[in-house]
Amino acid sequence: MTGSLPRRHHIVPRFYLEGFAEQGHLGVAMLPGDKRFTQSTRTAATINDFYLLGSALHPRAGNFEAMLSDFESEASAVFRTLANGTWPLSAQDRAVLGVFIAVQFLRGPEHRQQMTDIRRQMIRLQFQIAGRDRFVKTVAERLQADLSDDEVEELWQLTVRPGGPPIAVRPDQHANELVDLLPKLLKYFLGRPWALVSFERKHLITSDAPVTLVPRRDAQDEEGVGLMTAAAILFPISRSQGLVMADPMPISRTVTVEEVSAGVADLRLPASAAHARSFNSAAVINARRAVFHHPADAALVPDRLPEPASQEAAAPA
């Protein structure tokens, strides 16, 4: 039974990576840029058992991976439609692509890490407020064991340290949150006017976190950027196409949300070097572990890349 389950899970779909590959291989630059190599799309952007629900022997162990595969199967047909030159998309294809991008936003290690960071801080703050005595009582109840003063002190220090306790969100918790958040967040993708940029001479790269939220120009660094406040959402479709999900506010008085979601405001943007730079800069800045590119496009990846992300939600001071 375990042999029938796929154990290598793509955090970025293989069919998507093929849009940046040549004969099934693409260039990989690992952050911070010191490791660069060519890799098969079969093994690129994968983490073993990342979506496995419990033990491989569990009857529903592969359900999370199977659910994601369903989204990918529908989306791959829309990607082929785009590659064939169709734009704007039909309302149905637009919805499928919107769901795919929203799922990609939620499915990766960066979102699971964000969930983990938030839960760690919630537990940390909870016990800082409740106090050490309450912590000792809770630990004793949950462990059902008597701990020495030294053991209690060690657990207390682990819990109230700046990063919070060393807990991790499980795949089943990640899956549940994706299912819960997807219908709530989808409007922030579909409710934006979309613009497709098709390149002939310039090329695009991508990363292990290909959905980039672009902050507003007047945003302060400490404010962060979210789906509601982003000036735009950038998503490289392939080496030759990029999607801009623009700010809906400028057209909000003349076009309804329903019309925008149906695609009436979608358009094409002319290809330019500036647009290519915007997509490629976003891919580099938003990468968590790796940048991916066509083997012939290695020069598009800067020599120095950001440090790998280890935290998605900053701890309060």
Chain mean position to CA 98: 14
CB 123 within 8 A of CB 165: yes
Q: Count up the domains in the chain and report the number.
A: 2
Residue 1 lies in a domain: no
Task: Report the pLDDT value the prediction gives residue 135, as an integer from 0 to 100.
Answer: 87
Residue 226 and residue 292 in one domain: yes
Residue 55 and residue 122 in one domain: no
Give SS3 for 209: coil
Mean pLDDT of the chain: 93
Containing structural domain, residue 135: 108-185
Share of the chain above pLDDT 90, in %: 80
Same domain, 278 and 145: no
Residues 209 and 78 in one domain: yes
pLDDT tens per residue, range 3-23:
578 889 999 999 999 999 999
- Identity (one letter) of the amino acid at 305? L
Please name the helix (run of DSSP H) or strand (run of DSSP E) that holds residue 84, with its range, or none: none
Residues 70, 214 within the same domain: yes
Structure tokens at 61: 């162990």
pTM of the entire predicted model: 0.91
Amino acid present at 212: T
Six-digit token pair at 2? 């375990």
For the chain, the first-to-last Cα distance in angstroms comes to: 48
Residues 116 and 174 in one domain: yes
Answer yes or no: do 284 and 200 share one domain.
Answer: yes
Tell me, yes or no, whether 172 and 202 share the same domain.
Answer: no
Name the residue among 43, 56, 34, 40 with its Cα closest to residue 11: 43
Q: How many CA atoms lie within 13 A of 224 on its CB side?
A: 6
Residue 48 has pLDDT above 80, yes or no: yes
pLDDT in the model for residue 108? 97
Are 62 and 209 within one domain?
Answer: yes
Taking only the tens place, the pLDDT of each residue in 84-110 is 999 999 999 999 999 999 999 999 999
Give the pLDDT confidence score for residue 191 in this predicted structure: 97
E strands, 110-231, where?
A: 194-198, 206-207, 212-214
